[in-house]
Structure 1
Amino acid sequence: MTTTASLESPTVQLDPGSEAVIPLQIKNNGSVVEGYDITVVGGPASWATVEPAQVSLYPGTATTATVTFRPPRSASTAVGSQRFGVVITPRDNPNNAVVPEGVLEILPFLDTTAELVPRTSQGRRGKHQVAIDNRGNVPVNVLVNASSEGNRARLSVDPVGLIIPPGEARFTKVRAKGRRAIWRGQPVTHNFVVDVTPENSTPVELAGSYVQTPVIPKWLIWALIGLIALLALLTALWFTLLKPTIESQAKEAAEEAAADAEKAAGEAKKNAEAANGAATNAQKSADKADAVAGAKPAPKVIVTDVSRRLFADPLDNATEAATYPIVEDGVYRLTDVVLSNPQGDFGRAVLSVDGEVQMDVALENFRDLDFHFVSPIVATDQIRLVVTCRTPGTPPDAPPATRCDTSALLGGELSVPAS
């Protein structure tokens, strides 16, 4: 081997934020002058610098370069051992590179900060948050405690203990309340301290204050006084100005309305007498016309409430129809239809009246459909239900069916001439 190299300290312990300088011995054992490029590889390479990064050596001579590591003091600098290598590459014979190796051990460090937000609160209860930030590179256990000046306020912390991973923040709530209620008077300020104690690190003290306000604020008393004064003023205005004016206007309006009503009643009486005379004359003319023409009485009709149920149970992939024929000379006025599909069958149901389709629905879309018609559907020939069964359903608490089960309950009036 024409080149040899070694690290003076192959194992180095280092705190993040500090630096370590490692001497590197390089010797040219060859017979010609050789130039070398020096680079660092491995995990810590981004923190390393080499001085000088390039050297030239005569045969049989040696030199010393330095490798400096400066890991940042950051939560992203992980704790533990990281292997690295220093590559010394001859420019003329790059395949004869030598790589002395070493280990850089990153030590743990603690850096915990805290902030109270807000520092001052007010009201019947005070609410604060403590933001705790772990800027170190190892998890930290933190205890939070709060105490008031003179113990005049009750303070609660939730949660009391936290485990914060490196580079992360956690929050805890601090609530304050006075030990005695203040019903009226001046607000009272309670000063308190929140102690944030990280394990194996320096505690942090956060000063805060809570302003306890009275239950009955000053503005409420003045508002009540102003409201009472306003009510008194409005009452005086009512009795001195508004009430007499309103009563006078109401009296005039009532007199005018009474006069208008009397006038309208007289006109209505005249119109009624004229209409009565016209009706009498019309009746006399009608009697004469009936006597001359021999008018025939209108035929009598019998109207009956009629309900019919059309039922069809076709087999799978079959069609079946049910028909309600209307009696001769009869008129059926359909007002209600209830379609039933109790099994949950799949298929189609078509309801037609006198050959005209009124409903065409898929069975799978309903179990019960209820229709009410404001204007009845008139049938003089027949009402017909046609059911096409595609897949029979499954009745409740029963095995799957082999037939569909569909019906239509019809409701309406049947009119037939009296015999």
Structure 2
Amino acid sequence: MTLRAELTVPDEAITPGASLTAYLRVWNESRIVDAYRLTLIGPPADWPNTEADLGQLPVYPGNYEKINIPLTLPRHSDLPPGPLTFAVRVASVEDPLAVAVPEATLCVGEFRDLDVKAVRPRVGGALWSTNLILLENTGNATTTFRLRLAPEAPDAPLRTKLRRTRLALDAGEKARVGLSVGVTSPVPIGTAADWKLGVRGGWGDEEERTAEFVHRQRPILPKRAMKALIALSALAVAAVALWLSPVGGKKPTVKTESAKGPSQVQAVQQEEKKAADAKKKQEDDQKKQEEQAQKEKEDAGALKKKTLDGASLAADSKAKKLMAEYKVPRGYRLVLKALGITGTGPPTGNLIVTAANNRLVTQSVAAAKDFPLTTPVSLKVGEKVVLELHCTPPSGVAPTPAGPTDCLATVVLTGDLIPLKGPNAEPETPPTGAANPTPTPSTRS
């Protein structure tokens, strides 16, 4: 049964956050009425408000049908600008071997955005204060941002200073910028005053994002401290007056000390205290040495980071081995970085590579090629990388002498085995779990 499909998208660049419509045409070149199951493959299948299962499309013999596929690009820094390839898998209901995977490439445009936030919404001081500003480039392109800091009231007695006024951030990158606020006209005594300040981050003539915080200017001597100082002064004056008066004064006595030094009991107590301190210090040093030795012993027996270079999966239809897998060993997690793919076979043969049940690659065996991962894929303990080989020729079609009838596929895994625990463990970078990189399916009739 003959199957032909075509997937098209608009040529102009699409800014993340905008929507577009992809058009799919399916031709039924057989002699019977057939329906086709449609499945969206690639990054759009994981976007919000997008269904990977597009349902079924019935087509009469000798005709074609057209279906519109609405897509909305997520406005997120993880979607880089440039070409983005996706595909739709078209599978016949009547003939499971009749499959087509047309591809299309849309152009993702650039957008810029900035998140600005003050770490502390309120700071204060009589003479000065400090704060931190958190910045995050929420756009999808590297952008140079400028920062400005100023009080909202023009008569505010404040002097502001930013540690940095310009900085370049990559997409999704975060940064912290320190600032200081100085008081130009301190208030010796009185009540506190609140002054609102605004931080503005911009990247164009009119594009700005703002954050606000409040500086509370406190008096050098607040009311409570002033009252306490007056009370203490009054008590001091009263004490001096009582001491000098005939009623409250008394004759001072002369204190004498023995020239013989400390008594025998005091000397014994001092020696006992010195001995106890020396014993405690010796015990503390011995405990530290034991802890250090135990730590060195644990570090020596800990798992070490390994490079997974050369581990391969092989599938051969002639040997009836249509599936191969690699399982992450105990105590490690796998960070997969690249797939070296080779294969031979007829154009109808397909190979599929999955990691932790997430499909990474779908390729024709005859056109197999290496697949670099733009984003490393992280697999947990026990999760598998699986190679599947599909090399069943269409029913009723005899092998041709011009091409091979058997399929052979090999996938070489490149990555790192990182210990989960111990001194050699490394923190897992977000997003956790197996990532879903851009698959590269191939179209075959």
Normalized against structure 1, the TM-score is what? Answer: 0.51
**CA–CA distance in structure 2, aligned partners of residues 5 and 90 of structure 1:** 11
1:143 aligns with 2:146: yes
Q: Which has the higher helix share?
A: 1
Where structure 2 has 5 or more consecutive residues not aligned to the other structure, the ranges are 254-445
In angstroms, what is the RMSD of aligned CA positions?
Answer: 3.2
Match of 2:172 among 163, 167, 170: 167
The answer to whether the 8 A contact 2:92-2:98 is kept is yes
1:210 aligns with: 215
2:100 matches 1:98? yes
Checking the alignment, whether the CA contact within 8 Å between 1:11 and 1:102 is kept in structure 2 is: no
Instruction: Report the counterpart of residue 155 of structure 1 in structure 2.
Output: 160
Give 3-state SS (helix, strand or coil) of 2:85's partner. strand
Matches within 5 A, 1:406-417: none
Shift in alpha-carbon separation, 1:27–1:12, aligned structure 2, 3 A: farther
Q: 1:165 is matched by which residue type in structure 2?
A: D
Alignment of 1:1-400 (within 5 A): 2-9=2-9, 11=11, 13-47=13-47, 48-49=50-51, 52-123=54-125, 124-148=127-151, 149-150=154-155, 152-187=157-192, 189-199=194-204, 202-235=207-240
Please say which structure displays the higher CA radius of gyration: 1
Alpha-carbon deviations, 1:111-165, whole Å to 9, x = none? 2122234344321102222222322222222111223423732110011112223
Residue 201 of structure 1 deviates from its aligned partner by 6.4
Q: Distance in 2 between matches of 1:170 and 1:211?
A: 26
CA contact (8 A) 1:10 1:101 kept: no
Contact 2:139 2:171 survives alignment (8 Å)? yes
- Aligned residue identity for 2:165: V
In the alignment, the residues of structure 2 paired with residue 118 and residue 99 of structure 1 have an alpha-carbon distance, to the nearest angstrom, of 54
The residue type equivalent to 2:143 in the other structure is: V
Q: Which amino acid aligns with 1:46?
A: D
SS in 2 for 1:95: coil
What secondary structure, in the 3-state scheme, does the structure 2 residue paired with 1:143 have? strand
- Does the CA-based 8 Å contact 1:185-1:214 persist in structure 2? yes
Read off the aligned partner of 1:66 and give its amino acid letter.
Answer: N
CA contact (8 A) 1:12 1:103 kept: no
Please say if residues 39 and 53 of structure 2, whose CA atoms lie closer than 8 Å, have aligned partners that are also in contact: no
Deviation at 1:176, TM superposition (A): 1.2
Distance 1:67 1:189, change over 3 A: closer
Distance 1:10 1:225, change over 3 A: closer
Q: Give the letter for the 1:44 counterpart.
A: P
Question: Is residue 23–residue 68 contact of structure 2 (8 Å, CA) maintained in 1?
Answer: yes
Q: Secondary structure at the match of 2:231?
A: helix
CA displacement 1:231-271 (0-9 Å, x = unmatched): 34445666677766x99xx9xxxxxxxxxxxxxxxxxxxxx
* Unmatched runs of 5 consecutive residues or more in structure 1: 251-419
**Distance in 1 separating the partners of 2:68 and 2:52:** 6
Distance apart, 1:227 and its partner CA: 1.1
- Answer 1 or 2: which has greater strand percent: 1
- In structure 2, the CA distance between the partners of 1:50 and 1:195, relative to structure 1 (3 Å rule), is closer
Secondary structure class of the residue paired with 2:13: strand
Give how far 1:12 is off. 6.2
Distance 1:152 1:91, change over 3 A: same
Could you tell me how far apart the structure 2 residues matched to 1:10 and 1:195 are?
Answer: 37
SS in 2 for 1:150: coil
Maintained 8 Å contact 2:40/2:54: no
Higher relative contact order (CA 8 A, sep 6+): 2
C-alpha distance in structure 1 between counterparts of 2:8 and 2:170, whole Å: 36
CA distance in 1, matches of 2:9, 2:231: 86
- In the alignment, the residues of structure 1 paired with residue 55 and residue 205 of structure 2 have an alpha-carbon distance, to the nearest angstrom, of 41
Shift of 1:82: 1.5
* Cα separation, partners in 2 of 1:54 and 1:183, compared to 1, 3 Å: same
Contact preservation (8 Å) 2:24, 2:66: yes
SS of 2:171 mapped into structure 1:
coil
* CA deviations over 1:62-86 (Å, ceiling 9, x no partner): 2222223223222222222121222
Cα distance, 1:229–1:240 mapped onto 2, change above 3 Å: farther
Which whole-Å CA distance do the structure 1 matches of 2:189 and 2:150 have between them? 26
One-letter identity of the residue aligned with 2:33: V
Q: Secondary structure at the match of 1:226?
A: helix
Q: More deviation in 67-76 or 196-205? A: 196-205
Identity within the alignment, %: 23
Change (3 A) 1:66 1:163: same
